[in-house]
Each structure stands twice: as C-alpha cells, then as structure tokens.
Structure 1
Amino acid sequence: MKNITLVLGASTNPNRYSNIAIKRLVDRNLAVVAIGLRKGKVLEVVIDDEKQDYKTIDTVTLYLNSKRQEAYYSYIIALNPRRVIFNPGTENMEFVKLLQENNIEAEIACTLVLLSTNQY
C-alpha cells in the first residue's frame, strides 16, 4: 500500500469523528491505518494500540489533543508523511513548527470537510 492515511486517535465509538473519518476514507477507497488508545476495528481497518513502523504514510490525521500529541512528535516526524492534518480541537502551534522544520506540511483543517469537498 502507498499513499496511506494514518488516523491517530482512532476510536471504535461510532459517534467519534475519528471513527467517521475512517469510514469516509474507506468509502473513498483510500488506504487507512489507525492507532488508538485501545485495539479494535472499524469496518476492515484494525486499530492498533501501539506505534507501528509504517513505511509509506502520506497523511497523518490527528484526533488527539495537543497534550497527548507530545508522545507522538518524534514518531510522526520519523514516519516522514507529506502532511499532518490538525482536526478541530487538535491545533498545536509547537508541533506545527516542528513539522515545518522537518519539511512536513502542517494543515489546520477538518478531514471530514476536506473529504466532502473533494479537497483531500
């Protein structure tokens, strides 16, 4: 798989935006992997509860608040994605700066809106 989206902060709860995002990404036939607090599954996407050594992550879409993101700074930078999307409530200027220093695009946006407007 290439051009994979990593949903970070994934949840099996169908009311959570991360869950809805996984379903919409799958509906658009986009490759998705997920990491959350607990293992689980959304459609056919397995949610891991530990960092994985993914090779071809294009986009990381964040569903973690800024405090929880700190544990993932070096991990995300090491994945070297093309971009990181900061969904509403995840904005973090400290991390944005770190990403930019590592030539990774930081986008403050909503994955669901980007998908629904064909801007993803």
Structure 2
Amino acid sequence: MNKKTLVLGASLKPDRYSNLAIKKLVANHHEVVAFGIKSGVVAGTNIDTQLKPYKNINTVTLYLNPERQVEYYDYILSLKPERVIFNPGTENPEFYKILKTNNIYFEVACTLVLLSTNQY
C-alpha cells in the first residue's frame, strides 16, 4: 500500500539516512515529498526548501534533532498525518505529548528497518 511520506530533514548527501530513506521509500513504491535545507533531487524526489501544504500525508518521518523539531510542530500538525516516525536521534518526549493530544499516532523506529522488514 502506498503511504505518502514526508521526509523532514532531507539531505542531498548520499551517506545520510534521510537520503537513504528517500531512495528506499521510492524503491518500495511510496509517494515521497521532502523538505530540507538545500534543494535538489534524490531518486526523482525534489527536496523543497520552503514548507508546502502537502495533502494526504500518511507519514512524516523525522530526520531533525529534537531542538530543530520545535519550529515544525505546528506545520506537522497542520498536515494531519496518520503517523510520525521518530528515527534514531530524533526522540522527543515533548512532541510525543503534543501528537498524542492531537490524536496523531507516533512511533520511535527506523524508517529503513521498517521498510526492510515489511512493517512500514
């Protein structure tokens, strides 16, 4: 099943996990949109440098440390995703509470592992 995913904290650097996640999501036939500091293209996916009001986002997968996430709380909530994935290094109990209050499911997991084990 195609789960439209926003990769938040996308990087053009091939050794970054966000970059690998974009490639693996695309390879698994998920629609991907991405936001990062530098614009470019990874696996046919444009990395936007301005926040857009994406529609029908199933999953937001985070590649931003907790301090950097704060400025995106309202934006993520506005997208009304079905879930938010906190990849290793992005764990954020403050944001967990906010998501829970807004009835948005979250999980502390690795997008790459979820995809590799067919649990995405």
On whether the aligned pair clears a TM of 0.5, the verdict is: yes
SS in 2 for 1:60: strand
* One-letter amino acid matched to 2:107: E
- CA distance in 2: counterparts of 1:85 and 1:119, whole angstroms: 12
Matches within 5 A, 1:18-57: 18-57=18-57
How far off its partner does 1:3 sit?
3.5
* Aligned-residue RMSD, C-alpha: 0.9
Matches within 5 A, 1:85-104: 85-104=85-104
Q: Which runs of at least 4 in structure 1 moved beyond 4 Å after TM superposition?
A: none
Deviations 1:3-50 (A, max 9, x none): 310000000100000000000000011100000011111021000011
The gaps in structure 1 that reach 5 residues or longer are none
- CA distance in 2: counterparts of 1:21 and 1:64, whole angstroms: 14
- CA distance in 2: counterparts of 1:40 and 1:66, whole angstroms: 24
Q: TM-score, normalised by structure 1?
A: 0.97
The gaps in structure 2 that reach 5 residues or longer are none
Query: Which residue of structure 1 aligns with residue 109 of structure 2?
Result: 109
Query: Which residue of structure 2 aligns with residue 58 of structure 1?
Result: 58
- CA distance in 1: counterparts of 2:50 and 2:97, whole angstroms: 25
SS in 2 for 1:68: helix
- CA distance in 2: counterparts of 1:96 and 1:110, whole angstroms: 16
- CA distance in 2: counterparts of 1:70 and 1:6, whole angstroms: 17
- CA distance in 1: counterparts of 2:43 and 2:91, whole angstroms: 28
Q: TM-score, normalised by structure 2?
A: 0.97
